[in-house]
Amino acid sequence: MKRSVLKLTVIALTVAAFVWAAPRSSGVVAAGEEEDAAATYKSKCVMCHAPDGSGNTPVGKSMKLRDLGSADVQGQSDSQLYDVITKGKGKMPAYEKSLGEDTCKALVTHIRSFKK
């Protein structure tokens, strides 16, 4: 019985140490990733959201898109913005499968650059 408790304790401590020591995302996107995000934004998002994120395009106006630099959009958490990019919203398609997690996270950082 004591041996089983000891084994479980060792396993639990090992797992805890691994989780504690695992690298964590800082939320900071490297310069190269930001350049990639800007290129992705230009190829996937500009048609609706405009180069400056204003939504001032024919498509953006027809869908009444919010300005990505507005307090309303910028007030959302990174997680909320990430969810919109990955899962889509309204007529906006989901990009999780086509762009991948890292690119979608980098797009969140790029959207933050529109803050007014």
Q: How far apart are CA 76 and CA 81, in angstroms?
A: 7
What residue ranges define each of the domains in the chain, with the CATH number in brackets?
Answer: 29-112 (1.10.760.10)
The gap from C-alpha 56 to its chain's centroid, in whole angstroms, comes to 23
4-29 confidence digits (pLDDT tens): 655 545 454 444 444 444 333 444 45
Residues 37-50 have pLDDT tens digits of 999 999 999 999 99
Radius of gyration of the chain (CA): 20
- Residue of higher predicted confidence among 30 and 93: 93
pLDDT at 87 (0 to 100): 97
SS3 66: coil
Find, among 113, 94, 106, the residue nearest to 52 by Cα.
113
Quote the CA–CA distance of 49 and 53 in Å, as a whole number: 5
pLDDT in tens, 50-68: 999 999 999 999 999 999 9
